[in-house]
């Protein structure tokens, strides 16, 4: 396998005259990094008990007693399935099978047909609450596995979760989806996704990943079973999720997202998340492409370009994308792994829409930053915080409840796809 260090020179600026060459190089480097990500996760994440470690330190040491989260297992299932479909690497296929078994055996509550939040290292329930966000990632992962492995059972499970979300988690008055329910699908007081989130009944993050999951389910149904009796309902739910996101969560100025909301969509947060802005820019556009209606595509292009342009305000002098502007107006200058991955895809996608060279320059700069600061070229995987932010501490994780190959692996697959599209349409 080619070592990433052999491809570590900065990419040529797009105005240097050889855009085809720069895109070819970027695609080649993304393939190398995708192979590295696959190799790390297929060898380091599996635990001896046929599951996956709940945590692996930045030094590469697994914690066999760490609890295991629904987010880790669904994102592993999504990544291994998608990587297997893209590369046909047998190791990814085997780990996709393992992740599928773990998800259904340890996280699926047979009583409610929904996913619980956390299990022990031995697979016993620790937190049986039902986050809507977790159901979304379950659908997203199962749809990817169904497509990669041609699995009717996985598709049926994804559809069952979809039906439960539509039945129990929707707000019938104001629209959208509630943040969380209790173990028996009862209302609960504390619905936060994580300790850093606000305790609000609705959030941008949950709605973004509902849209992402429903889009994937619709595409998988169209690919495997276009005559399925629930195909129209899923497609309609994608359109509903898109409209809600575009109307209530994308700001009127189209350059940023609101993060937390009351039931009636009154905004409850002034925080600006550059990572979510750029991630949403391309996921909204992807959803619109799957719906393929003129009005939705027009709205998606406007939102995608506005959000990508707004996110450029968060670019650092080093070429990466800063984390956020807090409610006190303070700029967090951290370079977080997932934000860099989404920035690469989001800026490339924006360039593909309108060919503004500023977006391409931003994408190239982010990738050069990732190579120099985010990727662990010795051990593999990506540092949670860039090396220039965290030069001495080993307190971060290489794998954990939120540290998974979903952002990084997907970014490489999307970069390959976008480079191929751009090269085919560039003189």
Quote the pLDDT of residue 389: 86
Span 35-54, pLDDT tens digits: 999 999 999 999 999 999 99
Whether the predicted pLDDT of 202 surpasses 70: yes
pLDDT for 8 equals: 44
- The alpha carbon of 202 is separated from its chain's Cα centroid by a whole number of angstroms, namely 19
Span of 140-154, 354-368, 393-407 with lowest mean pLDDT: 393-407
What are the backbone dihedrals phi and psi of residue 348, each rounded to the nearest 5 degrees, phi first? -65, -40
pLDDT digits (tens, 9 = 90+) for 161-179: 999 999 999 999 999 999 9
Return the pLDDT at 4: 39
Q: How far apart are CA 23 and CA 204, in angstroms?
A: 33
What pLDDT is recorded for position 246?
98
- CB–CB of 78/141 below 8 Å? yes
| Percent of the chain topping pLDDT 70 | 95
Q: Is the pLDDT of residue 2 over 80?
A: no
Provide mean pLDDT across the span 326-354. Answer: 98
- Listed by start position, the domains of the chain span 1-6+14-127+396-427
Of residues 395 and 404, more confidence is placed in 404
Which DSSP string corresponds to 229-290? TTHHHHHHHHHHHHHHIIIIIB-TTSS-B--EE-TT--B----EEHHHHHHHHHHHHHHHHH
Q: Which CATH class is domain 1-6+14-127+396-427?
A: mainly alpha
Query: CA 132, CA 290: separation in Å to the nearest integer?
Result: 22
Rounded CA separation 78/418 (Å): 20
Confidence tier at 393 by pLDDT (50, 70, 90): low
Question: What is the DSSP secondary structure assignment for residue 13, as one 8-state letter?
Answer: P
Name the 3-class secondary structure at 328. Answer: coil
Residue 14: pLDDT over 60: no
* Radius of gyration of the chain measured on its C-alpha atoms: 20
Q: Pick the closest to residue 382 from 368, 363, 392, 396 (CA basis).
A: 396
Across the range 127-132, mean pLDDT stands at: 99
Q: Are 337 and 382 a contacting pair, CB within 8 Å?
A: yes
pLDDT at 10 over 80: no
Asked whether residue 146 carries a pLDDT value surpassing 60, the answer given is yes
**Residue 6: is its pLDDT beyond 70?**
no
Give SS3 for 211.
helix
What is the C-alpha separation between 208 and 73, in angstroms, rounded? 19
Q: Mean pLDDT across the stretch 266-295?
A: 98
pLDDT, tens only, 298-336: 999 999 999 999 999 999 999 999 999 999 999 999 999
Please report the DSSP string for 36-73 in residue order. Answer: HHHHHHHHHSB-TTSSB-SEEETTS-EETTS-EEHHHH
Calculate ∠ Cα 360-344-282, nearest 5°: 90
Sheet containing 324-325: which strands, arranged edge to edge?
Answer: 272-273, 324-325, 331-332
Handedness of CA 405, 410, 415, 416 (dihedral sign): positive
pLDDT, residue 7, reads 41
Please, which pLDDT band fits residue 11 given cuts at 50, 70 and 90? low
pLDDT at 17 over 70: no
pLDDT exceeding 90 applies to what percent of the chain?
92
- Say which DSSP state 107 is in: I
Tell me how far apart the alpha carbons of residues 370 and 211 are, in angstroms, rounded to a whole number.
27
Higher pLDDT, 374 or 7: 374
Mean pLDDT of 334-353: 98
Q: Which two tokens stand for residue 315?
A: 């670019």
Closest CA to 288 of 340, 250, 343, 341: 250
Lowest mean pLDDT among 131-140, 342-351, 374-383: 374-383
Helix (H, G, I), strand (E, B) or coil at 352: helix
**pLDDT reading at 427 higher than 50:** yes
Does the pLDDT at position 194 exceed 90?
yes
- pLDDT number for residue 303: 98
| pLDDT band at residue 145 using 50, 70 and 90 as cut-offs | very high
Q: Which of 346-355, 371-380, 407-416 has the lowest mean pLDDT?
A: 371-380
Question: What pLDDT does 188 receive?
Answer: 98
Per-residue pLDDT band for 1 (boundaries 50, 70, 90) equals very low
Q: Where are the alpha helices (DSSP H) in 17-172?
A: 19-44, 70-87, 90-102, 132-149, 152-168
Q: Is the pLDDT of residue 5 over 60?
A: no
Please report the pLDDT score of residue 234 as a whole number: 99
């Amino acid at each position: 396998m080619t070592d990433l260090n052999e491809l570590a020179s900065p990419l040529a600026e797009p105005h240097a005259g050889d855009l085809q060459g720069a895109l070819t190089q970027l695609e080649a480097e993304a393939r190398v990094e995708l192979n590295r990500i696959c190799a790390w996760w297929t060898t380091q994440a599996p635990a001896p008990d046929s599951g996956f470690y709940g945590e692996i330190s930045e030094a590469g040491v697994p914690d066999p007693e760490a609890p295991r989260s629904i987010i880790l297992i669904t994102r592993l299932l999504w990544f291994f399935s998608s990587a297997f479909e893209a590369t046909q690497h047998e190791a990814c296929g085997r780990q996709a099978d393992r992740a599928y078994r773990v998800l259904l055996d340890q996280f699926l509550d047979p009583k409610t047909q929904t996913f619980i939040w956390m299990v022990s290292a031995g697979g016993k329930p620790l937190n049986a609450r039902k986050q809507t966000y977790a159901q979304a990632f379950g659908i997203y992962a199962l749809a990817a596995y169904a497509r990669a492995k041609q699995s009717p059972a996985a598709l049926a499970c994804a559809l069952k979760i979809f039906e439960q979300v539509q039945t129990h988690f929707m707000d019938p008055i104001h629209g959208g989806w509630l943040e969380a329910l209790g173990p028996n699908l009862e209302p609960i007081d504390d619905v936060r996704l994580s300790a850093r989130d606000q305790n609000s009944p609705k959030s941008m993050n949950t709605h973004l990943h509902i849209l992402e999951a429903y889009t994937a389910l619709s595409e998988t149904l169209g690919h495997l079973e276009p005559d399925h009796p629930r195909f129209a309902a899923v497609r309609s739910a994608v359109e509903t999720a898109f409209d809600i996101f575009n109307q209530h969560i994308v700001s009127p100025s189209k350059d940023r997202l609101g993060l937390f909301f009351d039931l009636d969509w009154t905004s409850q947060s002034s925080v600006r998340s550059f990572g979510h802005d750029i991630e949403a820019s391309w996921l909204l556009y992807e959803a619109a492409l799957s719906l393929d209606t003129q009005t939705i595509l027009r709205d998606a292009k406007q939102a995608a370009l506005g959000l990508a342009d707004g996110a450029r305000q968060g670019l650092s002098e080093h070429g990466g994308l800063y984390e956020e502007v807090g409610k006190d107006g303070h700029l967090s200058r951290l370079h977080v792994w997932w934000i860099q991955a989404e920035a690469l895809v989001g800026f490339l996608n924006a360039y593909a829409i309108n060919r503004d060279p500023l977006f391409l320059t931003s994408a190239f700069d982010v990738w050069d930053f990732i190579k120099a600061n985010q990727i662990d070229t010795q051990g593999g995987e990506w540092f949670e915080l860039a090396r220039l932010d965290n030069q001495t501490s080993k307190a971060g994780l290489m794998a954990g409840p939120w540290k998974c190959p979903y952002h990084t692996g997907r970014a490489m697959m999307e970069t390959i796809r976008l480079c191929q599209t751009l090269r085919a349409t560039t003189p």
